């Protein structure tokens, strides 16, 4: 019997590994197993684009949740940033799925206008993470931990850019222990910005 959710998850792993543009319909059909025919594929998913959107949503509902702590007011802002970075680096390094981050890598090989709509959920997810970093910095400024005249967007971009780099590093085989040490280093940017007291 055709397991639709399992098929979406298999497609998610394939898109995660290869990106949208590099993943062919024949590869998708093969990954779904059971020798699914083209008519059956279209009946189940409509199109490659529709399946990618479903696969992307599956990723956003599961693996991408590692950065939601940026929006947790129960955490101190620096702690929220540290947790997001460490959780994301750990997830991206896990051997149980493709390395890296589908949000960062899933459409990087398809920057054309034709694929802009397909990539929209991933683009929105990156924007939400970026806004989460800004929010943490602004919370640090509001509490007096960070200077009130700090450029919140600039400091947030330090952490956001680092996180984007983690996706490339894990794809290149850099292990979690190296990334974990790098996170300790990058957090010194926050510590160096603190108001003395």
* Rounded-to-integer distance, Cα 116 and Cα 107, Å: 9
> Can you give the pTM of this predicted structure?
0.91
The pLDDT of residue 16 is 94
Query: What per-residue confidence (pLDDT) applies to 21?
Result: 84
For residues 98 and 90, the answer to whether their CB atoms sit within 8 Å is no
Q: Judge whether residue 35 has pLDDT over 70.
A: no
What sign does the CA torsion over 114, 115, 118, 123 have? negative
pLDDT tens-digit profile of 80-135?
999 999 999 999 999 999 999 999 887 655 556 667 778 889 999 999 999 999 99
Query: Of 57, 67, 59, 66, whose CA–CA distance to 13 is shortest?
Result: 59
List, for residues 71-88, the tens digit of each pLDDT value.
Answer: 999 999 999 999 999 999
pLDDT at 108: 58
Tokens 């800004």: give the residue: 134
């Amino acid at each position: 019997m055709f397991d639709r959710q399992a098929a979406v998850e298999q497609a998610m792993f394939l898109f995660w590994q290869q990106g949208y543009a590099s993943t062919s319909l024949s590869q998708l059909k093969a990954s779904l197993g059971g020798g699914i025919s083209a008519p059956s594929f279209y009946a189940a998913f409509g199109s490659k684009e529709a399946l990618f959107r479903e696969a992307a949503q599956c990723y956003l509902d599961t693996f991408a949740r590692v950065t939601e702590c940026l929006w947790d007011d129960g955490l101190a802002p620096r702690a929220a940033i540290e947790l997001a970075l460490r959780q994301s680096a750990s997830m991206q390094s896990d051997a149980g799925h493709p390395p890296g981050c589908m949000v960062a890598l899933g459409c990087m090989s398809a920057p054309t206008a034709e694929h802009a709509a397909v990539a929209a959920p991933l683009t929105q997810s990156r924007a939400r993470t970026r806004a989460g970093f800004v929010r943490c910095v602004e919370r640090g400024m509001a509490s007096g931990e960070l200077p009130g005249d700090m450029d919140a967007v600039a400091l947030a971009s330090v952490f956001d850019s680092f996180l984007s780099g983690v996706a490339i590093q894990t794809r290149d085989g850099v292990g979690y222990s190296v990334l974990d040490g790098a996170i300790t280093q990058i957090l010194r940017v926050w510590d160096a910005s603190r108001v003395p007291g």
